[in-house]
């Protein structure tokens, strides 16, 4: 798997901690992708008893997941305590009014989750996997906590994301993202079966560069590349960046492209041999698509 440049997890966490109060308003794309993922569940036959939202942030899909699977326990996991507090405050009154169980928040990195192996039936992750320092390692951790025949459903960002900003600022200033085909290979390597992958391109437009910068900052999505320059870049860099983005503008609007990658796969069932070894069978697997 061709890994993108490594991200600085501590920097990512600080960014989301600072943005906890502004994230929801500044991240309409993530909200829309969450709704599109929920719609995809209509075509998948599953009755999970234990659901994990990995990289939950404000856990915007929690209410819909519990409504779809009312018998399930939902754990919302994120490495930002402030983001989970925001989620708990926003959901508390709604869930009380509807007499529904509230999600159980857990503060942890989804690459090292304090959950037993095989303890989750559905692992949901909306627009979070690209923040993992090593996405392949995170997928292996997802496979560890999923029960045999458990379902992973996720969305993440692909390599065409923010191509306009990358062109204007230089490739070393903007995050790299993993190709859809590499993610599919990593799923198989992690122990998943029947992976289904697809992608779409969504373009947001802004009246000026400041609108784009503000959304990225207020949603915690500033550069956290481990190899980023640590010094101040100065007013000259920002002025050149603004000018280059304006030069790229079409119809007077600044474009920001996001390549959204969707995927789902099933944790391979395990069959034990007499000698204690575990066998993963692929000859009896079926797509659970209606």
* Sole residue written with tokens 């698509």: 289
User: Do the strands 254-267 and 192-206 form a parallel or antiparallel pair, or are they unpaired?
Assistant: antiparallel
pLDDT digits (tens, 9 = 90+) for 28-46: 999 999 999 999 999 998 8
Do residues 129 and 138 make contact, with C-beta atoms less than 8 angstroms apart? yes
Using CA atoms, how far apart are residues 260 and 33, in angstroms rounded to an integer? Answer: 8
Do residues 112 and 55 make contact, with C-beta atoms less than 8 angstroms apart? no
pLDDT at 98: 55
Do residues 266 and 151 make contact, with C-beta atoms less than 8 angstroms apart? yes
pLDDT digits (tens, 9 = 90+) for 111-142: 999 999 999 999 999 999 999 988 999 999 99
237-245, Cβ contacts within 8 angstroms, sequence gap of 24 or more:
241/168, 241/169, 241/209, 242/209, 242/210, 244/167, 244/168, 244/169, 245/164, 245/165, 245/168, 245/209, 245/212
Which backbone phi and psi does 245 adopt, to 5 degrees?
Answer: -65, -40
pLDDT at 5: 65
- Partnered with residue 218 across adjacent β-strands are none
Fold topology of 9-157+177-200+261-280 = Rossmann fold (3.40.50)
Counting every residue, how long is the chain? 290
How far from chain centre, in Å, is Cα 236?
A: 34
Q: What are the structural domain ranges in the chain?
A: 9-157+177-200+261-280
Query: 95: how many CB neighbours lie within 10 A of its CB?
Result: 17
Helix (H, G, I), strand (E, B) or coil at 103: coil
pLDDT at 275: 53
Reading the chain (290 residues) residue by residue, the pLDDT tens digits are: 455 668 899 999 999 999 999 999 999 999 999 999 999 999 998 899 999 999 999 999 999 999 999 999 999 999 999 999 988 776 555 554 454 568 999 999 999 999 999 999 999 999 999 999 889 999 999 999 999 999 999 999 999 999 999 999 988 889 889 999 999 999 999 999 999 999 999 999 999 999 999 999 999 998 888 877 665 566 788 899 999 999 999 899 999 999 999 999 999 986 554 554 544 443 333 333 33
Q: Among candidates 191, 169, 150, which has minimal Cα distance to 247?
A: 169
Using CA atoms, how far apart are residues 208 and 102, in angstroms rounded to an integer? Answer: 40
């Amino acid at each position: 798997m061709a890994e993108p440049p490594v991200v600085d997890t501590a920097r990512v966490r600080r960014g989301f901690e600072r943005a906890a109060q502004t994230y929801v308003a500044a991240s309409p794309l993530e909200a829309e992708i969450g709704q599109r993922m929920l719609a995809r569940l209509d075509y998948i036959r599953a009755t999970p008893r234990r659901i994990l939202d990995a990289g939950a942030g404000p856990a915007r899909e929690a209410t819909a997941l519990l409504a779809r699977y009312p018998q399930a326990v939902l754990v919302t996991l994120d490495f930002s305590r402030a983001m989970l507090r925001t989620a708990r405050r926003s959901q508390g009154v709604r869930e009380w009014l509807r007499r529904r169980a509230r999600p159980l928040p857990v503060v942890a990195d989804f690459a090292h989750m304090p959950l037993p192996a095989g303890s989750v039936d559905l692992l949901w992750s909306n627009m979070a996997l690209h923040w993992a320092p090593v996405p392949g390692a995170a997928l292996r951790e997802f496979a560890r906590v999923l029960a045999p025949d458990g379902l992973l459903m996720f969305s993440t960002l692909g390599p065409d994301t923010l191509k306009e900003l990358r062109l204007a600022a230089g490739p070393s200033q903007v995050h790299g993202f993993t190709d859809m085909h590499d993610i599919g290979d990593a799923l198989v390597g992690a122990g998943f079966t029947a992976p289904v992958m697809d992608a779409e391109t969504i373009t947001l437009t802004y009246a000026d560069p400041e609108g784009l910068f503000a959304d990225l900052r207020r949603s915690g999505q500033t550069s956290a590349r481990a190899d980023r320059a640590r010094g101040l870049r100065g007013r000259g860099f920002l002025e050149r960046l603004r000018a280059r983005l304006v030069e790229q503008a079409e119809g007077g609007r600044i474009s920001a492209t996001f390549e959204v990658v969707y995927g789902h796969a099933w944790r391979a069932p395990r069959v034990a041999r007499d000698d204690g070894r575990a066998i993963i069978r692929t000859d009896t697997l079926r797509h659970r698509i209606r």
